[in-house]
């Protein structure tokens, strides 16, 4: 079998949720959009529900439908994109709670699903989703009359604790919601780490659950093992891969492993310090990353194992992200569909 193996440690994921939960006195929900950051929203949410998570967030109603099918009735499922045209039937049938983002969405919701639970997303300065202060001031009495279950907003710079935008958004969110007897939520992973002022009634971590920054104490959740398909010895002067990008200076042994940029391992990875691990030993990646293959210099190994490891406790999604000039979120959500996925825990 030449399929790379992605192992997802649900115990580590649950521990991350519990450790984040222990940092606050409020409820901790879980964000499982983009199919649980690429790791399978159903499995992720089921593991977290078993550990005590009661509310989940997705980006779109369709994701909520898939999640409801996996979770069954009971846990709350909220939709960040709100109530879009065409969502009505799904929201109703699958008991999804839209976070209404605009007057349009509000009118649609109250007209088509009166009495159906909803939240309101407020824009405290990110200018991405949610009602702005003036819009909210105009409609808030009507909205509050319909009994929202949550008022939420999102921070733009929470991964940088020193950024003045955090305090500014906190102030705006408070101005928009202080004195209202409805549960409030402002913090995702980064916001949780900013301290209790940011916690309100419910926190919504995503990336920290899956082992990513800015939750520096997160346990890694994914391991990626790439089977060695072929081994060859090259002489000094011989090149490896597309564009002859790497040329052996000394006699070398090259392992070709099965995964490439079509599996989310970006070509830019080779710009940084990314290695293929044989146990503890680090082997340099040489040449370009192909669509399905990566070449590794294993000259230093006495014995080449059946597979080399690209993601483990030493080398995490953050290392790959740094090498490729991106963020852990993007590495996670790009992890390929070809991998044979195994769930632990
Ligand atoms: C993605 C998202 C989250 C989770 O963010 P993380 O940084 O992954 O913890 C929370 N709230 C909203 C509105 C989001 O879009």
Catalytic residues: 33, 242
Where is 297: in which H helix or E strand? Answer: strand 293-297
Task: Give the CATH number of domain 222-344.
Answer: 2.40.37.10
Task: Kindly state the average pLDDT of the residues 156-174.
Answer: 98
State which of 29, 41, 154 you would mutate to test the pocket of ligand 1, scoring each by most atoms of that ligand within 8 A of its C-beta: 154
315 pLDDT above the threshold of 80: yes
| Binding site membership of 155 for ligand 1 (Cβ less than 6 Å) | no
Per-residue model confidence as pLDDT tens digits over 182-195: 999 999 999 999 99
Please report, for residues 297, 317, 332, the alpha-carbon distance to residue 276 in angstroms, rounded to integers and kept in the order given: 9, 13, 18
16 pLDDT above the threshold of 80: yes
Per-residue model confidence as pLDDT tens digits over 252-298: 999 999 999 999 999 999 998 999 999 999 999 999 999 999 999 99
Q: What is the pLDDT at residue 100?
A: 98
Q: What is the pLDDT at residue 96?
A: 98
Where is 139: in which H helix or E strand? Answer: helix 133-145
The distance between the two most distant Cα atoms of the chain, rounded to a whole number of Å, is 77
The domain spans of the chain are: 10-210, 222-344
Per-residue model confidence as pLDDT tens digits over 190-220: 999 999 999 999 999 999 999 999 999 999 9
Task: Kindly state the average pLDDT of the residues 62-73.
Answer: 98
Q: Distance from first CA to last CA of the chain, Å, rounded?
A: 24
Q: What is the pLDDT at residue 52?
A: 98
- CATH architecture assigned to 10-210: Alpha-Beta Barrel (3.20)
pTM value surpassing 0.95: yes
Q: What is the pLDDT at residue 223?
A: 98
Question: To 5 degrees, how large is the angle CA 162–CA 167–CA 170?
Answer: 140
Residue nearest to atom 3 of ligand 1 (CA): 188
Sign of CA dihedral 175, 181, 187, 193: positive
Q: What is the pLDDT at residue 2?
A: 84
Contact 320, 311 (CB under 8 A): yes
1 pLDDT above the threshold of 80: no
State which of 13, 184, 206, 214 you would mutate to test the pocket of ligand 1, scoring each by most atoms of that ligand within 8 A of its C-beta: 206
Task: Kindly state the average pLDDT of the residues 128-140.
Answer: 97
Residue nearest to atom 4 of ligand 1 (CA): 206
Per-residue model confidence as pLDDT tens digits over 3-15: 999 999 999 999 9
């Amino acid at each position: 079998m030449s399929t790379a193996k992605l192992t997802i440690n649900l115990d580590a994921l649950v521990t991350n949720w519990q450790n984040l939960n222990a940092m606050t006195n409020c409820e901790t929900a879980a964000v499982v959009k983009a199919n649980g950051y690429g790791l399978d929203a159903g499995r992720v949410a089921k593991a977290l529900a078993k550990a005590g998570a009661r509310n989940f967030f997705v980006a779109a109603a369709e994701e909520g439908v898939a999640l409801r099918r996996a979770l069954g009735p009971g846990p709350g499922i909220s939709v960040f994109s709100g109530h879009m045209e065409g969502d009505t039937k799904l929201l109703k049938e699958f008991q999804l709670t839209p976070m209404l983002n605009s007057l349009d969405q509000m009118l649609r919701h109250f007209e088509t699903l009166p009495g159906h639970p909803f939240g309101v997303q407020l824009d405290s300065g990110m200018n991405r989703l949610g009602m702005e202060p003036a819009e909210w001031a105009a409609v808030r009495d009507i909205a509050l009359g319909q009994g929202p279950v949550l008022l939420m907003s999102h921070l733009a710079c929470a991964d940088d604790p020193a950024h003045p935008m955090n305090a500014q958004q906190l102030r705006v969110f408070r101005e928009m919601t202080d004195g209202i007897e409805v549960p409030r939520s402002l913090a995702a992973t980064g916001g949780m780490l900013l301290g209790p002022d940011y916690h309100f009634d419910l926190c919504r971590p995503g990336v920290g659950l899956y082992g990513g920054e800015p939750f520096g104490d997160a346990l890694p959740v994914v391991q990626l093992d790439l089977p060695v398909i072929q081994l060859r010895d090259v002489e000094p002067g011989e090149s490896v891969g597309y564009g002859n990008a790497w040329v052996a200076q000394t006699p070398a042994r090259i392992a070709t492993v099965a995964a490439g940029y079509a599996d989310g391992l970006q070509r830019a990875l080779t710009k940084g310090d990314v290695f293929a691990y044989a146990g503890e030993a680090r082997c340099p990646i040489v040449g370009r990353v192909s669509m399905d293959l990566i070449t590794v210099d294993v000259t230093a190994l006495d014995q080449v194992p059946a597979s080399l490891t690209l993601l483990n406790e030493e080398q995490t999604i953050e290392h790959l992200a740094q090498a490729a000039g991106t963020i852990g979120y993007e590495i996670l959500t790009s992890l390929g569909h070809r991998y044979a996925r195994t769930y632990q825990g």
